[in-house]
Amino acid sequence: MFLTNTLVRWSIETLRKDCHPFLGITFLVCKKAKFPVGDDTEIRLDSLTRDHLSQYHRMDQNSEFYFQPFKSNRFWVSLSYPSSGLQAINTQTFNLAFLHSKNTTEWGFINDYIPTIRGIIDDLGGYSPPSLAALAVWIGKDSRWEKGDNIRTIIQKFKKDFNLTTKEISKLFNTFSMPPEGIKITTKNRLDLKSVAHRFEVPPDASSQTEGALSSIRLRNVGPGKDMFLEFGERLTLIAGDNGLGKSFLLDGAWWSLTGEWAGRPAYPIIPKSKELPRIDFKIMDSSLGERTGGAQYLRRGHNWVNLKKSHRPSVAALSIYARVDGSFAVADETRGKLQIDNSESLNLFKVHEVWEGKTGQIEGLIRDWVSWQLTNERGQFTMLSRVLEHLSPEDIGPLEPSNPIRMPGEPRLIPTIKHPYGDVPVVFASAGVKRILLLAYLIIWSWQEHKLASDQAGVSPYKKMVIVIDEVEAHLHPKWQRLVLPALMSVGKLLNEELDVQVIASTHSPMVLASVENDFSTESDVLAHLSLKDDSVCLEKIEFYKYGDMSSWLISPVFGLSHARSRQAEKVINDAKKLQLSDDILPKNVRQITHRLKQVLSPDDTFWSRWLYFARQHGDDI
């Protein structure tokens, strides 16, 4: 018998909330090695830690990274972690708990190591004694267990294997945090550790499938910009910029490049005075990693776009989904299109109500499919839907967990419901943000299931690439949700199929969205593009991604360009205050006026007060 997927996921989610890596790794290493107390001895701590990580933290055998579930800014750590990150934690943060001389291999605990470690944990803030049960499950996730073993059996083995004392357990661990009631503990099947880890985050060195990746696009005399060129990231492309500068034009152009079809009204270009015709050029990455080109020109006489090459345009070997800002969707699947009677329907366009209610001959719709999947789950669609919804769930209302369908007054059908802390809610009454995520999750599942079925019928392998184009990814979402939706979308492919990679092309106005990928953004596979207005011309440029940290720093970064992360009124008063400080003619009454205005627009703890108070007192305003 082995521990269940659900139980191990619970342990990771629980440890991620408050367990410091020191208690989850170093302390266990020390205890297993029987560290002396009140004395030291020669112990190669780095080597023991590396062995521990290799035994318990190698979740993906194809990766050179260790998976660590503890509270940190990343799930995956490099092979150098024992001698770099953890060593710094051991010798700096928790050094008072050890008897250890610098640059030696002599180690031991001080006599009062238990209250010392507990004190350091409490002082750090944000950490607390971790769940003993969660840590025991994490350690025992790949061990064999007997039928009938329960959570207490797992804890007892953990305590014995790591020589934990009663005092250590009572002071350093939370013994009350247990798995939810009714959760299944063991199963006959060994857990797929790689799959579990990838549900949380893909390792940085995960193999990348580049088949079907959109490589670049160039729009000339299309939209607000006369000439806009963008190289797409193999994994992620984020487009930011003010309203009205062409983000949607870029996404529409990217979709046309992917599929050869427009998701709505075709782009209506600027007709230049010169003889140069409006045109779109693009490049895609084919399966052999070579680039192929395509493009189209806009013919003024027929008001239509015509391919530049008379031969077959290069096709993108990917399942593509476009979530538009008006709530409509487009799905392109060339494999499914070839099975149609007229051999041409590779594109589906859905208005928002059609995704809910269905479109004859194309899609049953979320309400019917959800209930059908839930009641039968023949091909595992409902299980997959539940997993994707949980993966895309917000922090504030908890997991978007399906509940039992219900009949509503005047409604002949069963209606799906989702669980909220305050009760089950029919999906038709969900909030705008929840509805958008429900629709996106459903379209992803539906598209993938239909593609797999078509691939099986055609006798070909399913695609290994999915492209998700999404306009204003943060639309309707609370800031808590904005902080996680994009990383979740980037990794959603692994929930559908282990070999499926996702390329995300998204526009955003949200600093939360940009901050959410600070720990995941890679200059090798990701791109941040910015649209701005310079000298009455729209400029599109690829900009370097910086980790600005807090939201106020993002707001005043070049991406958003605010002078202050404050209200417009506060910004005006602060600018007047700065001008007065630089003035040669400073009158006390003017200083008092500015002080009065600052009190009206700034909070008492605003950082600008530290600059203003000293100046004001120097000029007779004793605040």
Question: 154: helix, coil or strand?
Answer: helix
Kindly report the average pLDDT of the chain as a whole number: 84
3-state SS record for 282-314? EEEECCCCCEEEEEEEEECCCCEEEECCCCCCC
- 447-478, pLDDT tens digit by residue? 999 999 988 888 888 888 899 999 988 888 87
pLDDT (mean) for 246-263: 86
pLDDT score recorded for residue 585: 82
- 38-59, pLDDT tens digit by residue? 888 888 888 888 899 999 999 8
pLDDT score recorded for residue 309: 65
Residue 426 in this model has a pLDDT that exceeds 70 = yes
- 111-146, pLDDT tens digit by residue? 999 999 999 888 888 889 999 999 999 999 999 998
- The C-alpha atoms of residue 2 and residue 145 are separated, in whole angstroms, by 6
pLDDT score recorded for residue 222: 79
pLDDT score recorded for residue 209: 39
Nearest 10 degrees: Cα torsion 351, 355, 357, 361: 90
- The C-alpha atoms of residue 143 and residue 153 are separated, in whole angstroms, by 12
pLDDT score recorded for residue 343: 44
- 63-83, pLDDT tens digit by residue? 888 999 998 878 888 888 877
Question: 507: helix, coil or strand?
Answer: strand
Predicted TM-score (pTM) of this structure: 0.61
Q: Which amino acid type is present at position 144?
A: R
DSSP per-residue letters across 2-54: EE-HHHHHHHHHHHHHH--HIIIIIHHHHHHTT--BSS-EE--HHHHHHHHHH
pLDDT, greater one: 330 or 241: 330
- The C-alpha atoms of residue 100 and residue 115 are separated, in whole angstroms, by 18
- 148-190, pLDDT tens digit by residue? 889 999 999 999 999 999 999 999 999 898 998 888 888 888 8
Nearest CA among 23, 27, 26, 3 for reference residue 15: 23
**Distances from the Cα of 497 to the Cαs of 204, 409, 466, 493, in angstroms?**
18, 39, 11, 6
pLDDT score recorded for residue 489: 85
pLDDT score recorded for residue 173: 92
Q: Report phi then psi at 470, rounded to 5.
A: -140, 125
pLDDT, greater one: 341 or 403: 403
Q: Lowest mean pLDDT: which of 233-237, 350-354, 475-479?
A: 475-479
Q: Is 193 exposed, middle or buried (0-12, 13-18, 19+ CB in 10 A)?
A: middle
- 275-310, pLDDT tens digit by residue? 778 888 888 876 555 677 888 888 877 778 887 765
Q: What percent of the chain has pLDDT over 70?
A: 93
Q: Which amino acid type is present at position 238?
A: L
- 543-590, pLDDT tens digit by residue? 888 877 777 777 767 777 666 667 778 778 888 888 888 888 888 888
- The C-alpha atoms of residue 212 and residue 502 are separated, in whole angstroms, by 10
pLDDT score recorded for residue 364: 92
pLDDT band per the 50, 70, 90 thresholds, residue 342:
very low
The gap from C-alpha 252 to its chain's centroid, in whole angstroms, comes to: 23
Residue 210 in this model has a pLDDT that exceeds 50 = no
pLDDT (mean) for 350-365: 91
pLDDT score recorded for residue 447: 92
3-state SS record for 357-426? HCECCCECCHHHHHHHHHHHCCCCHHHHHHHHHHHCCCCCCCCCEEEEEEECCCCCCEEEEEEECCEEEE
Residue 422 in this model has a pLDDT that exceeds 50 = yes
Q: Which residue has the tokens 């579930």?
A: 69
pLDDT, greater one: 529 or 286: 529
pLDDT score recorded for residue 208: 40
pLDDT score recorded for residue 344: 47
pLDDT score recorded for residue 133: 92
To the nearest 10 degrees (0 to 180), the angle between helices 381-391 and 366-376 is 120
